[in-house]
Structure 1
């Protein structure tokens, strides 16, 4: 070692090339991790977060589905429970009906044994059953629904009493006049007046449907404080013989209702002995010529009864008033129902009878009934008439007054011909002619004198003023 040499200076270390490379890599690799791996991790962490959220949503939806399914199962169980309760209620109501019918049969059986013949006790039985009282308990007390408590026909309903009757025939009918007088409207452009015309033959001024003179006649001479005008409508379709029963029916309306006017709408003018008699004794008949409808809602009409069904509704919508079938017997005035927008009565088969309808002009119920004919099926007999009326009455109870005692208007037809029906509280009876036309055609002023049945008693009451058999 030479003089002056600094012995404290460290010798310079020279790293081999491999070590340098290691140092480079040690710096680059963390940098790559920082710039590549960490962002990649963040991306995957975000994806994982999204996945977790999706999985949570699916779990929520699954849980919601389970809850919904549970609710549906509970609803189904509740529905089944309600159905079972409804079936039980129906069975209970059926049993009540069976019990009621059994009580009626027992009463009728006891009545038959007591009197030696079968007869119907009419409203007495029905009201007693509704009030869960016996007929004896009922007595004469004012119970029931809308039954008219002013009895008609007297107090003796044994139907075995005979009295001396007037010898009334078509030739000497009390109201018949030698010279026929008719009160007919005569109209000009502004006014209408009634002319009492004497007619010696069958010629009449004929009006068309929706004639302005008809409307003027109603508005001028048939004004009323009641909702329903006191005008009566009959429809006569077809070339039928105007038999005795039709005379009695139309005359009963004239006698007991005393209408302002009676309109008879026809496509073929009636004729015969009893039609002539009707014109002679009823001075306020106005004949209205109409063309019977051939189709409804584009569908061809099969039954003539369907033509009458739709026409009666159109007439009541146009004018209002009281519609009656030509075989509907009116036993007393129906004025008590003329303060209702529309009134009909239940029939024995639990449909609503359309043989007697009271309605105001433009009645809402009548309009809805007409609208129902959009679904008219010509092959179905009563779908759009009596059955539709019942459906609409249930659907729109505020638009119609339905008299729930069918004894007011429609007793069961089985009691017409071979039994006696106590009609002391009835307003009207509908003659069921099915299968009885020959028997109907044979009736006249003579045959009804000793006819011991419901029809015989009713005909005598209308024509002779009493229901008892004639000596």
Structure 2
């Protein structure tokens, strides 16, 4: 049920650039398992922006009508508002990150606090299980609240360092190519498109916060299996050409970069220049893919493109199978083989929440087993 990307311990070759594969011994090991699922060719981006703060333009508007609409409605959109909390972002962020972190992690949450559920909390648990001395900062206005503090309190009470801070969008984009995009959006000079603006802002925020501070960005629908901090300046391939072992699509659900890394600047530049709010993934996974392919042989940055089994070993079309309990002896054997391969070669398993948010995790399934093996509080139920 895993992608059949292989590695032989040599430099990983792709169509665009030669990349050094940073991985532990397990990631070098040649897979002994047959592929059980094929890698998909279609991108679906996780949407963590459902709720009243989504800000989606009404359908059947022209581009000019959407520009006028966004100019009128933008002041009502929470993340664009300047508040007492957001004005303190720089001070609070630096104080938190300067407190001694083995590794610093970032997430974004632009949805209402009530929608941060058990599954998202499992991502936090598995992150800290693998990085007990790491620091996690969630860029979120809704979680930067009394309710949000209660959500993270069980981990904080156990000594883990986690917080949510309302982001200051203007500060994070200052002196980046996306600063002009923000100004034009506020002035009604940019078409926001028909897709949730919150979704695209999440794509933008992760680039901006890594460019400003450096560290590891992680979506809230992963099970972390091993230390991400062992990696350096890395992006994961979402899909691979299994014959040539070359990547054909990148994904931005996990990004690992030093502060001020030049490829992050290129991504921010690409977001600003080529923004399209009408196409899913255009300003996220496809942005990274376009930029890196366009750079081609000009790309001399210290950067690693990891094969799909590092972060995305299971295609979004097939991930639901991992939520189901094996139904016969052959299925149990496939489960054991899949668990072995995941534990040997995968850093974090993407759950593709857009596809599985309403899928029950059945007791005895692969997902159930992985959560049980990597949780801290281990209070998850099979109802989420």
When normalised by structure 2's length, the TM-score is: 0.59
Q: Which residue of 2 aligns with 1:201?
A: none
Change (3 A) 1:415 1:319: same
Q: Which residue of 2 aligns with 1:407?
A: 309
Distance 2:352 2:120 in 1: 13
Distance 1:262 1:363 in 2: 20
1:329 and 2:223 correspond: yes
Q: CA RMSD in A?
A: 3.6
Superposed counterparts of 1:305-320, under 5 Å: 305-320=199-214
Shift of 1:277: 3.5
Query: Is residue 263–residue 301 contact of structure 2 (8 Å, CA) maintained in 1?
Result: yes
1:457 and 2:369 correspond: yes
Distance 1:264 1:285 in 2: 8
Q: Which residue of 2 aligns with 1:285?
A: 162
| Partner of residue 243 from structure 1, selected from 91, 101, 117 | 117
Change (3 A) 1:260 1:371: same
Shift of 1:334: 1.9
Distance 2:259 2:127 in 1: 20
Shift of 1:287: 2.1
Shift of 1:308: 0.4
Change (3 A) 1:369 1:209: farther
Shift of 1:437: 2.3
Distance 2:104 2:227 in 1: 12
Distance 1:220 1:274 in 2: 22
Query: Is residue 148–residue 426 contact of structure 1 (8 Å, CA) maintained in 2?
Result: no
Match of 1:362, SS state, is coil
Shift of 1:284: 1.0
Match of 1:211, SS state, is helix
Distance 2:151 2:92 in 1: 28
Query: Is residue 106–residue 138 contact of structure 2 (8 Å, CA) maintained in 1?
Result: yes
Q: Which residue of 2 aligns with 1:434?
A: 354
Match of 2:279, SS state, is coil
1:149 and 2:61 correspond: no
Change (3 A) 1:130 1:309: same
1:348 and 2:239 correspond: yes
Query: Is residue 132–residue 160 contact of structure 2 (8 Å, CA) maintained in 1?
Result: no
Distance 1:464 1:211 in 2: 31
* Structure number, greater radius of gyration: 1
After superposition, the C-alpha distances for 1:373-403 in whole angstroms (9 at most, x for unaligned) are 2221111222232112122223153225233
After superposition, the C-alpha distances for 1:192-236 in whole angstroms (9 at most, x for unaligned) are xxxxxxxxxxxxx967564234325534634xxxxxx71111111
1:214 and 2:117 correspond: no
Distance 2:349 2:160 in 1: 24
Match of 1:311, SS state, is helix
Q: Which residue of 1 aligns with 2:320?
A: 417
Match of 1:306, SS state, is helix
When normalised by structure 1's length, the TM-score is: 0.49
Distance 2:169 2:260 in 1: 22
Unmatched tracts of structure 2, length 5 or more: 11-19, 28-32, 34-83, 171-180, 241-247, 323-334
Match of 1:126, SS state, is coil
For these two proteins, the number of residue pairs brought into alignment is: 265
